[in-house]
């Protein structure tokens, strides 16, 4: 058994920020970050656009950022949370700058503020078009300087340890978290990580769909573990589809063309070259992304085409190339010359607005278990996240989790008799290919029946198909030694089930959720 004071599951912006803060506050306490791939592999790393912060209160205001967030969230945001996040943003930004993060500046030396869909003002801080990468690297550098943090890459959290695992406390009303069972991918052993405080910061779920902007690691592990541990999971029907992923026939992670490109003036055209956004929303290309994604979906259904175009040909070349070098490099690699060619784009699964329900301090319903970042449902996003609010949310909630858990950590009792993981009755998997097949089936079901526009009929079909996969996979799970692939498959099936079930339960269309009558 390995004992820590703070255990963090996930190494994106939320997890690293929290780890850094608790480690600095308590140099004598032990902090562990477990992360299932390389340390920097997370949704954070791929965030292009940036971070929304009200910097200039002459041209912008907190009220406007609050209103934009509420409008995108379509009536389901928690106003108090929105106000808290928007108003605390400058403090968190200062801290981030003090850790060495850099954001682009204009010729006057002021922050170069970009614009994205749903924002009434330019307020997106960015580092070229690789903002998330910059933040991830900054935080990893800081974490590396803390002797009391163990950053354990290729360590897969299989399950949270709660009362359910403790013989004498099974069935108790109050539930507590004691740590997690973690698979060390090098040794193949599942170790018991005990911890006074556990933070889930395990990111998104994009891999439940065939086409996603999310990396391979985004398999919803944290949400699925929390669901198994009986935490409250909410708003899973609000999966945000990014309107403009680069069209690519290969399945897997799809390259994102940042919304900031439309903020810079790029236009959407159908295959005939016609502008179409004006028919859908008066804000045209800068409508919130649920509206733009649905508009593209509708154009594609009408025309039978596979993609629409993003037209950048009219944009100022110096400014454009300076802001978006990474995107333009990718286009170049694919033989797209942006000055002459339009860029083929399609919507792709991008962000989960729901997740593990928390309060303003990131506390879940399970004692000593916190959640923050994309896996959490904090009340900020409601039915649809406003662009570039997610890195901000990760920072604000990491700070709140830190404040609350620092109060709590001293009083956590360590009297639970936690058993080690038992592999009794399991054998090595004979055919890993069955796991791969089932994963592909889940992704196909979700893409075919649970996409941008849903219907009860399609959801029922998805639900029936998922049941079969669930039973097969649970059977495999009982007999087989745990592998990351099997765990991810189980988690993806859980996520798919939650999205379908919560979509079936929703009777009115809001934000990113649209069900045909
Ligand atoms: C983008 O750059 O378009 C993504 C930003 C976000 O998802 O907030």
Which domains can be identified in the chain, with CATH numbers? 2-237+353-411 (3.50.50.60), 246-347 (3.90.700.10), 433-505 (1.20.58.100)
| Cβ of 48 less than 6 Å from ligand 1 | yes
Measuring from atom 5 of ligand 1, which residue has the nearest CA?
49
Residue 10 scores a pLDDT above 80: yes
Instruction: Kindly indicate the confidence band of residue 249, based on its pLDDT and cuts at 50, 70 and 90.
Output: confident
**201 pLDDT tier (thresholds 50, 70, 90):** very high
- The model's pLDDT over 353-395, given as tens digits with 9 standing for 90+, comes to 999 999 999 999 999 999 999 999 999 999 999 999 999 999 9
The residue whose CB lies within 8 Å of the most ligand 1 atoms, and thus the one to mutate among 12, 13, 42, 50, is: 50
Best residue among 42, 50, 115, 116 to mutate for probing ligand 1, ranked by most atoms within 8 Å of CB: 116
Mean pLDDT score of the chain, rounded to an integer?
96
Of the candidates 249, 255, 210, 178, the residue with the CA atom closest to the CA atom of residue 415:
178
Asked whether residue 252 carries a pLDDT value surpassing 80, the answer given is no
Q: Per-residue pLDDT for 426 more than 90?
A: no
- Residue 199 in this model has a pLDDT that exceeds 90: yes
Can you tell me which atom of ligand 1 is nearest the CA of 390? 8
Ligand 1 binding pocket includes 387 (Cβ within 6 Å): yes
- Distance from Cα 176 to the centre of ligand 1, integer Å: 35
Which pLDDT band holds residue 423 (cuts at 50, 70, 90)? Answer: confident
- Picking from 46, 23, 3, 121, the residue whose alpha carbon sits closest to that of residue 348 is 46
pLDDT (0 to 100) of residue 91: 98
- Averaged over 123-149, what is the pLDDT? 98
Token readout for 196 is 């006074």
- Indicate whether 66 pLDDT > 90: yes
Please compute the mean of the pLDDT values over residues 499-507 and round it to a whole number: 98
Q: Kindly report the protein residue whose alpha carbon is nearest to atom 4 of ligand 1.
A: 49
Residue at token pair 């944009």: 315
Q: pTM value?
A: 0.96
Report in angstroms the alpha-carbon separations of 397 from 82, 243, 295, 370: 12, 27, 33, 10
Query: Which residues are designated catalytic?
Result: 289
In angstroms, the CA 41 to CA 12 distance is: 8
Q: Does 434 score more than 90 pLDDT?
A: no
Structure confidence at residue 432 (pLDDT): 78
Q: Is 320 helix (H, G, I), strand (E, B) or coil?
A: helix
Q: Quick one: average pLDDT of 23-31?
A: 98
Place of tokens 């008799």: 417
pLDDT for the residue numbered 300 = 96
Q: How many residues does the chain have?
A: 517
What average pLDDT does this structure show over 95-115? 97
pLDDT at 428 over 90: no
Q: Residue 394: count other Cβ atoms within 10 Å of its Cβ.
A: 29
Regarding the beta carbon of 259 and ligand 1, being less than 6 Å apart is answered yes
Q: Which residue lies with its CA nearest to atom 8 of ligand 1?
A: 388
The strand pairing partners of 352, in sequence order, are 239
202 pLDDT above the threshold of 80: yes
CA angle 89/91/93 to nearest 5° reads 70
Examine the pLDDT at 414 and tell me if it is beyond 90. Answer: no
Half-sphere exposure (CA, 13 Å, Cβ side) for 303? 17
Query: Ligand 1: does its nearest atom lie under 6 Å from the Cβ of 118?
Result: no
Higher pLDDT, residue 145 or 426 = 145
Question: Is the Cβ atom of 388 under 6 angstroms away from ligand 1?
Answer: yes
CA 217 from chain center: how many Å? 11
Q: What is the pLDDT of residues 438-489, one digit of tens each?
A: 999 999 999 999 999 999 999 999 999 999 999 999 999 999 999 999 999 9
Ligand 1 site, residue 390, Cβ cutoff 6 A: yes
CA pair distance 478, 427, nearest whole angstrom: 10
pLDDT at residue 169 in the model = 79
Q: 310 pLDDT exceeds 80?
A: yes
Would strands 31-34 and 2-9 be described as parallel, antiparallel, or unpaired? parallel
């Amino acid at each position: 058994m390995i004992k820590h004071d703070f255990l963090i599951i996930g190494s994106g912006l939320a997890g690293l920020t929290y780890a850094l803060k608790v480690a600095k506050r308590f140099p004598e306490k032990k902090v562990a970050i477990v992360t299932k791939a390389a340390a920097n592999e997370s949704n954070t790393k791929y965030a292009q656009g940036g971070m929304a912060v009200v910097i200039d209160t002459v041209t912008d205001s907190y009220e406007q950022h609050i209103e934009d967030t509420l409008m995108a969230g379509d009536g389901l945001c928690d106003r108090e949370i929105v106000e808290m996040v928007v108003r605390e943003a400058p403090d968190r930004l200062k801290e981030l700058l003090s850790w060495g993060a850099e954001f682009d500046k204009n010729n006057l030396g002021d922050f170069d503020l970009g614009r994205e869909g749903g924002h009434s003002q330019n307020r997106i801080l960015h580092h070229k078009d690789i903002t998330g990468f910059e933040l991830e690297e900054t935080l990893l550098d800081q974490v590396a300087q803390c002797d009391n943090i163990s950053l354990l890459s290729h360590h897969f959290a299989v399950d949270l340890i709660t009362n359910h695992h403790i013989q004498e406390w099974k069935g108790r009303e109050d539930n507590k978290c004691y740590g997690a069972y973690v698979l060390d991918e090098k040794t193949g052993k599942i170790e018991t990580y005990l911890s006074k405080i556990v933070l889930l910061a395990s990111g998104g779920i994009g891999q439940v769909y065939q086409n996603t902007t999310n990396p391979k690691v985004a398999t919803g592990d944290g949400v699925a573990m929390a669901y198994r541990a009986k935490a409250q999971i909410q708003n899973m029907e609000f999966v945000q589809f990014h309107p403009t992923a680069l069209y690519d026939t290969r399945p897997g992670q799809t390259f994102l063309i940042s919304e900031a490109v439309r903020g810079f003036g790029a236009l959407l055209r159908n295959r005939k070259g016609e502008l179409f956004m004006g028919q859908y929303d008066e804000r045209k290309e800068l409508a919130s992304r649920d509206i733009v994604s649905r508009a593209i979906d509708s154009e594609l259904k009408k025309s039978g085409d596979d993609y629409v175009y993003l037209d950048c040909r009219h944009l100022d070349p110096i400014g454009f190339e300076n802001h978006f070098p990474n995107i333009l490099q990718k286009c170049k690699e694919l033989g797209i010359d942006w000055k002459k060619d339009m860029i083929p784009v399609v919507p792709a699964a991008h962000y989960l607005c729901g997740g593990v329900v928390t309060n303003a301090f990131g506390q879940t319903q399970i004692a000593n278990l916190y959640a923050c970042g994309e896996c959490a449902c904090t009340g900020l996003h409601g039915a649809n996240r406003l662009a570039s609010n997610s890195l901000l949310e990760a920072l604000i909630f990491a700070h709140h989790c830190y404040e609350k858990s620092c109060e709590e950590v001293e009083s956590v009792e360590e009297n639970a008799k936690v058993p080690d993981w038992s592999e009794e009755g399991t054998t090595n998997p004979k055919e890993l290919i069955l796991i791969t097949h089932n994963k592909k089936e889940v992704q196909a079901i979700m893409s075919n029946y649970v996409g941008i526009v849903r219907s009860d009929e399609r959801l029922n079909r998805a639900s029936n198909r998922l049941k079969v996969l669930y039973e097969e996979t649970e059977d495999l799970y009982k007999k087989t030694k745990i592998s990351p692939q099997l765990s991810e498959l189980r988690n993806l099936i859980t996520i798919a089930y939650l999205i379908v079930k919560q979509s079936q339960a929703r009777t009115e269309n809001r934000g990113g959720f649209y069900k045909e009558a």
